[in-house]
Amino acid sequence: MKKVVKILGVIVIAFLVVFGVYLYKKNVAENAIDAYIAEYGIPQSAIRDESFGYANAPPGFVKIVYSKNEGDDIRYIFQYISKEKRVDYSAYIKGTEVGIDDPRTKELKYQPPASMQNQ
Protein backbone atom coordinates (compact mmCIF):
# COMPACT_ATOMS: atom_id res chain seq x y z
CA MET A 1 0.00 0.00 0.00
CA LYS A 2 2.80 2.44 0.86
CA LYS A 3 4.43 1.64 -2.44
CA VAL A 4 1.26 2.58 -4.37
CA VAL A 5 0.94 5.86 -2.45
CA LYS A 6 4.58 6.74 -3.21
CA ILE A 7 4.13 5.97 -6.91
CA LEU A 8 0.94 8.04 -7.06
CA GLY A 9 2.71 10.87 -5.23
CA VAL A 10 5.56 10.86 -7.74
CA ILE A 11 3.08 10.85 -10.64
CA VAL A 12 1.12 13.77 -9.16
CA ILE A 13 4.30 15.77 -8.52
CA ALA A 14 5.55 15.09 -12.06
CA PHE A 15 2.19 16.19 -13.48
CA LEU A 16 2.24 19.39 -11.42
CA VAL A 17 5.78 20.21 -12.57
CA VAL A 18 4.91 19.63 -16.25
CA PHE A 19 1.71 21.68 -15.92
CA GLY A 20 3.57 24.48 -14.13
CA VAL A 21 6.23 24.62 -16.86
CA TYR A 22 3.49 24.75 -19.52
CA LEU A 23 1.73 27.65 -17.76
CA TYR A 24 5.04 29.50 -17.39
CA LYS A 25 5.88 29.08 -21.10
CA LYS A 26 2.36 30.14 -22.04
CA ASN A 27 2.66 33.31 -19.95
CA VAL A 28 6.08 34.17 -21.42
CA ALA A 29 4.75 33.64 -24.95
CA GLU A 30 1.61 35.72 -24.44
CA ASN A 31 3.61 38.59 -22.93
CA ALA A 32 6.09 38.48 -25.84
CA ILE A 33 3.29 38.42 -28.42
CA ASP A 34 1.44 41.29 -26.70
CA ALA A 35 4.64 43.38 -26.67
CA TYR A 36 5.14 42.61 -30.37
CA ILE A 37 1.54 43.61 -31.16
CA ALA A 38 2.03 46.91 -29.30
CA GLU A 39 5.25 47.55 -31.26
CA TYR A 40 3.45 46.57 -34.46
CA GLY A 41 0.95 49.34 -33.81
CA ILE A 42 -2.43 47.67 -33.35
CA PRO A 43 -4.11 49.51 -30.46
CA GLN A 44 -5.91 47.31 -27.93
CA SER A 45 -9.09 49.31 -28.54
CA ALA A 46 -9.04 48.30 -32.23
CA ILE A 47 -9.03 44.56 -31.51
CA ARG A 48 -12.45 43.00 -32.07
CA ASP A 49 -11.52 39.41 -31.25
CA GLU A 50 -8.42 37.38 -30.52
CA SER A 51 -7.64 33.74 -29.92
CA PHE A 52 -4.56 32.35 -28.24
CA GLY A 53 -3.39 28.75 -28.24
CA TYR A 54 -0.61 26.22 -28.62
CA ALA A 55 1.03 25.74 -32.02
CA ASN A 56 2.51 22.33 -32.84
CA ALA A 57 4.92 23.13 -35.65
CA PRO A 58 7.14 24.88 -34.82
CA PRO A 59 6.47 24.39 -31.11
CA GLY A 60 5.20 27.56 -29.49
CA PHE A 61 2.06 29.63 -29.15
CA VAL A 62 0.00 31.63 -31.61
CA LYS A 63 -2.36 34.59 -31.25
CA ILE A 64 -4.80 35.44 -34.03
CA VAL A 65 -6.16 38.99 -33.96
CA TYR A 66 -9.23 40.37 -35.75
CA SER A 67 -9.49 44.14 -36.12
CA LYS A 68 -12.75 46.05 -35.60
CA ASN A 69 -12.20 47.95 -38.84
CA GLU A 70 -11.63 44.92 -41.07
CA GLY A 71 -13.80 41.96 -42.00
CA ASP A 72 -13.40 38.30 -41.09
CA ASP A 73 -11.40 37.71 -44.28
CA ILE A 74 -8.44 39.61 -42.79
CA ARG A 75 -6.63 38.48 -39.66
CA TYR A 76 -3.24 39.14 -38.12
CA ILE A 77 -1.27 36.11 -36.89
CA PHE A 78 1.52 36.39 -34.34
CA GLN A 79 3.43 33.21 -33.49
CA TYR A 80 5.90 32.85 -30.62
CA ILE A 81 8.57 30.24 -31.39
CA SER A 82 9.68 28.83 -28.05
CA LYS A 83 13.11 27.50 -29.05
CA GLU A 84 14.17 30.78 -30.65
CA LYS A 85 12.29 33.03 -28.22
CA ARG A 86 11.01 35.26 -31.01
CA VAL A 87 7.71 36.32 -32.53
CA ASP A 88 6.88 35.84 -36.21
CA TYR A 89 4.15 37.75 -38.02
CA SER A 90 1.90 36.81 -40.90
CA ALA A 91 -1.59 37.74 -42.03
CA TYR A 92 -4.46 36.06 -43.83
CA ILE A 93 -5.87 38.30 -46.52
CA LYS A 94 -8.88 36.84 -48.30
CA GLY A 95 -7.75 33.25 -47.72
CA THR A 96 -4.07 33.72 -48.52
CA GLU A 97 -1.30 33.80 -45.93
CA VAL A 98 1.17 36.64 -46.49
CA GLY A 99 4.37 37.58 -44.72
CA ILE A 100 5.53 40.94 -43.43
CA ASP A 101 7.36 41.86 -46.66
CA ASP A 102 4.59 40.78 -49.04
CA PRO A 103 3.17 43.64 -51.18
CA ARG A 104 -0.37 42.51 -50.32
CA THR A 105 0.13 43.78 -46.76
CA LYS A 106 -0.73 47.21 -48.22
CA GLU A 107 -4.38 46.05 -48.00
CA LEU A 108 -4.12 45.94 -44.20
CA LYS A 109 -5.33 48.84 -42.10
CA TYR A 110 -2.43 48.34 -39.68
CA GLN A 111 0.83 48.30 -41.60
CA PRO A 112 3.98 46.75 -40.15
CA PRO A 113 6.40 49.49 -39.07
CA ALA A 114 9.56 49.94 -41.15
CA SER A 115 11.67 48.73 -38.21
CA MET A 116 10.03 45.29 -38.46
CA GLN A 117 10.34 44.80 -42.21
CA ASN A 118 13.21 42.89 -43.81
CA GLN A 119 14.16 41.12 -40.58
Q: Tens digits of per-residue pLDDT, 44-96?
A: 899 999 999 998 878 899 999 999 988 888 999 999 998 999 998 889 998 88
Order of strands, sheet of 60-67, starting from the edge strand that comes earlier in the sequence: 47-55, 60-67, 74-81, 86-93, 96-99
Domain count, the chain: 1
pTM: 0.83
Residues 97, 90 contacting (CB under 8 angstroms): yes
Residue 103 belongs to what domain range?
2-116
